[in-house]
Amino acid sequence: MTETRKITRRAALAGLSTALATPAFRPSFAQAAPIKIGVLHSLSGTMAISETALRDTVLMMVEHQNSKGGLLGRRLEAVVVDPASNWPLFAEKARELLQVHKVDVTFGCWTSVSRKSVLPVFEELNGMLFYPVQYEGEEESRNIFYTGAAPNQQAIPAVEYLMGPDGGEAKRIALLGTDYVYPRTTNRILRGYLNSKGITDADIMEEYTPFGHSDWQGIVARVKRFAGEGKKTAIVSTINGDANVPFYRELGNQGIKAEDIPCVAFSVGEEELAGIDARPLVGHLAAWNYFMSVQSPANTEFKNLWQAYIKNPRRVTNDPMEATYTGFNMWAQAVAKANTTAVDAVRTAVIGEKFAAPSGYTEEMLPNHHLSKPVMIGEIQADGQFNIVYKTPAVVPAENWSQFIPENANRRRG
Amino acid sequence: MKRTILLLFLLLAAMPARAQDAFLAALPGLGGGFGAQVEAVGQLGTLGDPRALPILTALSEGRLLRLADGTLLIRDGTRLLNAATGAPVDVAEADTQRVTINNRVRGALRGALGQLQIISPNSAERLAAADAIFRARSAENVPLLDAALARESVPEVRDRIALALAASRLVATNPADKLAGITALGETASPQARSILLEARAANPEVATQIDAAVAAIDQRLAIRRAAETLFQGLSLGSVLLLAALGLAVTFGVMGVINMAHGEFVMLGAYTTVMVQDFARDIPWLQPWSLPIAVPAAFLVTAAIGAAMERGLIRHLYGRPLETLLLTFGVGMMIQQAVRLIFGAQNREVISPPWMQGTLMLPFDIPVTANRLWILCFSLVIFGLILAAIRMTRFGLEMRAVTQRRPIAAAMGIRTGRVDALTFAFGSGIAGIAGVALSQIDNVSPNLGTGYIIDSFLVVVFGGVGSLAGTLIAAFGLGVINKMLEPWAGAVLAKVFVLVAVMAFIQRRPRGLFPQKGRAAEA
């Protein structure tokens, strides 16, 4: 009896050690050092709500790439740091990634202010950053690749839609935003655009509120009054973060229906709608370059990959996650093409790289370090998803220097 | 004679057949592109065929499905019905595709549903229909509305139909109709009527003077209403400030404990609401009561945590305000992070009961949002209860005795330690109740409390530490001033102005609006 048990245990041990030693147990890699992927997203503080999902997206891609055999026969390894929604800390952490961990590429940042904070570090140390969020443009660094939308790929087509027959032919626009650089720059571009379309300043209302503003009754009442001057009115919202929930609740309570005053938002996606009862908001709009409801084989693959990785079949995907996914794939393709991870070689290789993105379109990295992307307008539905009511027939090349800002008159156009 | 009867018979037979044909002919358009949908919806509305009603309702509610061959189906609960015949169909829902609409179709649907529902036997439906036609306004609807007005008996619905008729007449070609429409609209105090009049002004230069007069008349009525609206908004903001500050008025004002974790107690109250609602979700009869139940629940939860905090930590630091400040600040951060770990960083959804949604009309047509009106009343009730508890109960008496002169109170046989714990628990519990109310207007996230802590201290200090009446007046005063400044200064600057004004005031009167007098003030 004792004898048998001993043998069994020994057999088991032997079996285990064989299993561990067998290369078939995990993908085999040559003995080369791993390729290091830096992840620079806030995991604590105010931005953690949005950025945690992006960290998970990069980790998912690293795991996925390794399961396909890594890159150049080398394993990928993620280096995750937490800049804690603290803008100067972003620069410190970027320096740490580049100098201490010697990462080959970094995926990171959400707010424009954090990007502005790390830009000099990446330029000084010749690093490579993929930035996945729609932003206000007016920037072009040789060390940064912008995989989110430039204003001409989001804000302007959205306003064009509102002024078109399907959007309700709006003649007056209320620009509501949170008080920081992205909304102010975007609204400046939009004002230039609207003026060029014959909408005078008298028909434009512009209001800013602090981060986390929760008392919207006065502003919404003023928008109602502004809309009551006999011209079809629409709201363009660059309200960011937490302030959106009370804003939409106030819209619902004051009975502003999407048929009367549609509101198009640039920072509200599937994740943000998770905390709101979306029923009173049906018909209000959002402009992005990707919605989870896009029907394309690439999107099915992306959603399956994500929900399997996060082990939750109800988790949503959103635009910045798709931009991270696309950016990662483009980088991997460029590394394979250049046969090295050296920043200068990859930088040249990635220009002109094409990828069939989950948006259902083939997106291309342009010489101005931005992508060509489709523009989509979605209407909010009762379940918090978007019903795509408009998309551009082809991809739109990014214009990071807006033609509607007078100072850019002499700039070259991407 | 015979021939006439025959003709009549033929006519009668042909009429429904033709209507039916038109009905069936318009139907497939509903499954087409947005342009085709708008056209089909318009046709179905004008046809007035009652069978269109369930189909259009299904379309507007997202229950209209399409098979691959273009057949339209209605989802009715778990059954699928053929839209054209109303007969149940045996198809798997996976084989169907939902018919989607956009805002333009939604607008057309509203008009068509209005046309179909104006003959409904249900007066609420007729009211909604009149409003829908008012917004859609088309000259075609004038005869329909005339007929509806003639047989309408409910006065409220009559008024609305008359308004819809006026708006529809405005776009008519007949000048007399137009003038009648303008006059009727000018007698209202409705911003929508004003908007419609201004819209019509450019198209009808011949009646511009009448329109201007009508708009001026509406403006005059609106000016009074606007002032009332601003006042209400200010009171509403004040009620939020009051709720947030009341708990602090007890812990800081009465006890003198600088409790930086106060905001976190508010947040815990909001999370208690979420938990009560989650619990009530599966129990139908409990659902409408989840919010009222959350009030005592939040009070008990936060009061218990407050009592534990006072007994465990704060009582060791009485008389050392700086240490108390740091300690409570740290505890606040721990509570916040604990909530983040347990519930996640994402916002939690709080359901508003139906009686807290939408807009109510006060006398003189002053619109107020229901949730804010309830919160205003709620804050006053809570204020009254606190005042009563402090003034009229044994506990209140002991509390005042201990805070005024601790050794004497102890000598009179009051167990001061117990009173301290209870007072702090009381203040914390009130913060929890505030959380229940705030969950209805703000995000329920771990950061909820941080936004209110500064405002709370501001209100308590401005009102005069230790004075509950001061807290009340300071909260409403700051709210109203803020809202009066907002229209011309903007939300950001208005807040800055208020802060500067309070700072200037505190410079001159450091003890606030209602300073405490007597020996207690020096203690």
- B241 touches A at CB < 8 Å: no
**B270: nearest Cα among B431, B457, B426, B450:** B431
Q: B370-392 vs B208-248: helix axis angle to the nearest 10? A: 30
Q: What CA–CA distance (Å, rounded) separates A128 from A106? A: 6
**Alpha carbons A96 and A248: distance in angstroms, whole number:** 40
How confident is the model over B426-442, as a mean pLDDT? Answer: 92
Q: What confidence category does residue B20 fall into, taking pLDDT thresholds of 50, 70 and 90?
A: low
More confident residue, A326 or B133: A326
For range B172-193, the mean pLDDT: 79
* Chain A residues within 8 A of B237 when measuring between CB atoms: 215, 217
Pair A387, A277: CB distance under 8 Å: no
Name the helix (H) or strand (E) containing A130: strand A129-131
Q: Is B100 on the interface with A (CB under 8 A)?
A: yes
Residue B19 binned pLDDT confidence (cut-offs 50, 70, 90): low
Contact, A386 vs A141, CB < 8 A? Answer: no
Are A277 and B382 in contact by the 8 Å Cβ rule? The answer is no
pLDDT of residue B3: 59
pLDDT of residue B187 exceeding 70, the answer is yes
Q: How far is CA B360 from the centre of its chain?
A: 9
Distance from CA of A8 to the nearest CA of B (A): 43
Angstroms from A357 CA to nearest CA on chain B: 24
CA–CA distance, B336 with B268 (Å, rounded to integer) = 9
CA–CA separation, A262 and A380 (whole Å):
11
Minimum Cα–Cα distance from A216: chain B residue: B491
Q: DSSP alpha helices (H): ranges in B118-154?
A: 123-136, 141-151
- In the prediction, which pLDDT does B493 show? 86
- What pLDDT is attached to residue B2? 57
Count how many pairs of residues, chain A against chain B, have C-beta atoms within 8 Å. 141
Residue for token digits 């999902």? A53
User: Which residue spans within B339-460 are E strands per DSSP?
Assistant: 359-362, 366-369
What amino acid occupies position B74?
I
pLDDT computed for residue A20 by the predictor: 44
Which helix H or strand E contains B38, and what residues bound it? helix B34-47
CATH 3.40.50.2300 range(s) for chain A read: 35-148+295-373, 153-294+377-409
A414 or A151: which carries more pLDDT confidence?
Answer: A151
Residue B490, sorted as left (phi over 0), alpha (psi -120 to 50) or beta, turns out to be left
Measured between alpha carbons, how far is A149 from A131 in angstroms, rounded to an integer?
10
End-to-end alpha carbon distance in chain A: 80
The answer to whether B267 and B340 are in contact (CB under 8 A) is no
pLDDT of residue B172: 73
Paired with A206 in beta bridges are: A175
pLDDT single digits (tens) B23-47: 888 888 888 888 888 888 888 888 8
Share of chain B above pLDDT 90, in %: 23
Q: CATH fold of A153-294+377-409, please? A: Rossmann fold (3.40.50)
- Give the tokens for residue B253: 């004002």
Residue A15 in this model has a pLDDT that exceeds 60? no
Selection from B288, B259, B309 nearest residue B353 by Cα: B288
pLDDT band at B80 (very low <50, low <70, confident <90, very high): confident
Residues B205 and B203: their CA atoms lie apart, in Å, by: 6
Q: In this predicted structure, what is the pLDDT of residue A19?
A: 44
pLDDT of B203 > 80? The answer is no
Inter-chain touch A230–B201, beta carbons under 8 Å: yes
Q: Which of the pair, A107 or B162, is modelled with greater confidence?
A: A107
For A30, the 3-state DSSP assignment is: coil
Compute the distance between CA of residue B337 and CA of residue B330 in angstroms, rounded to an integer: 11
Residue A12 has pLDDT above 50, yes or no: no
Instruction: Name the minimum distance, in Å, from the CA of A4 to any CA of chain B.
Output: 48
Calculate how close chain B gets to A192, using CA atoms only, in Å.
22
CA atoms within 13 A on the CB side of B173: 1
For residue A331, name the pLDDT band (cuts at 50, 70, 90). Answer: very high
CB A118 within 8 A of CB A90: yes
> Residue B111 to residues A293, B48, B192: CA-CA distances in angstroms?
29, 12, 16
Is 90 exceeded by the pLDDT of residue A79?
Answer: yes
pLDDT at B517: 66
Beta carbons of A72 and A113 less than 8 angstroms apart: no
Instruction: Please check whether residue B353 touches A, CB under 8 A.
Output: no
Query: In whole angstroms, what is the distance from residue B9 CA to residue B12 CA?
Result: 5
Reply yes or no on whether the pLDDT at B263 is more than 70.
yes
Beta carbons within 8 Å of B76's beta carbon, 6+ residues apart: B63
CB-nearest partner of B358 from A166, A217, A255: A255
> What span, in angstroms and rounded, lies between the C-alpha atoms of B23 and B16?
10
Q: Calculate what percentage of chain A has a pLDDT beyond 70.
A: 91
In B, which residues are within 8 Å of A275 by CB distance? 346-349, 443-445
Question: A217, B104: Cβ pair inside 8 Å?
Answer: no
pLDDT given for residue B1 in this prediction: 53
Which DSSP category does B249 fall into? I
Residue A224 has pLDDT above 80, yes or no: yes
CATH superfamily of A35-148+295-373: Response regulator (3.40.50.2300)
Contacts of A58 (CB under 8 A, 6+ apart): A37, A39, A41, A78, A107, A324, A328
B320 conformational bin, left if phi > 0, alpha if psi -120 to 50, beta if neither: beta
User: Which carries the bigger pLDDT value, residue B490 or residue A94?
Assistant: A94
Answer whether A168 sits within 8 Å of B104, measured CB to CB. Answer: yes
d(CA B325, CA B314): 10
Q: Which of residues 247-276 of B touch A (CB under 8 A)?
A: none
Give strand pairing partners of A37.
Answer: A78, A105
DSSP 8-state assignment for residue B252: I
Terminal-residue alpha carbon distance, chain B: 109
* Cα(B134)–Cα(B149) distance, integer angstroms: 13
Residue whose pair of structure tokens reads 């006060």 in the numeric block: B362
CA atoms of A321 and B126, how far apart (whole Å): 47
How big is chain A by its Cα radius of gyration, in Å?
Answer: 24
**B111's tokens:** 């008009």
Can you read off the two tokens belonging to residue A206? 């512009």
Mutate one of B195, B199, B499 to test the A interface: name it (highest A CB count within 10 A): B195
Above 90 in pLDDT, residue A307?
A: yes
pLDDT of residue B347: 74
Asked if pLDDT for residue B135 goes beyond 50, the answer is yes
Task: Please give the ipTM for the structure prediction.
Answer: 0.73
Backbone φ and ψ for B372, nearest 5 degrees, come out as -70, -35
Angle (CA) B412 B417 B420, round 5°: 105
Q: Is the pLDDT score of B302 beyond 90? A: yes
Lowest mean pLDDT among A185-189, A207-211, B187-191, B442-446: B187-191
Q: Which amino acid is at B311?
A: R
Would the CB atoms of B491 and A224 count as touching at under 8 Å? no
> What structural domains and CATH numbers belong to chain B?
16-167 (no CATH), 225-348+366-522 (1.10.3470)
User: How many residues in total does chain B contain?
Assistant: 523
Task: Select from B250, B46, B229 the least CA-distant residue to B136.
Answer: B46
Which of helix, strand or coil describes residue A287? strand
Question: Are the beta carbons of A212 and B447 separated by less than 8 Å?
Answer: yes
Q: Which amino acid appears at position B281 of this protein? A: R
Residue B292's identity, in one-letter code, is P
Token pair for residue A297?
């084989």
CA B131 to chain centre: 20
Name the residue of chain A whose CA is nearest to B202's CA: A230
Q: Which residues of B touch A214 (CB under 8 A)?
A: 441-443, 451
Within its chain, how far is the Cα of A55 from the centroid?
Answer: 12
Q: Which residue(s) pair with B97 in the sheet? A: B66
Other C-beta atoms lying within 10 Å of the C-beta of residue B360: 13
Backbone phi, psi, residue A385, to 5°: -100, 175
The residue among B277, B320, B325, B316 whose CA lies nearest residue B297 is: B277
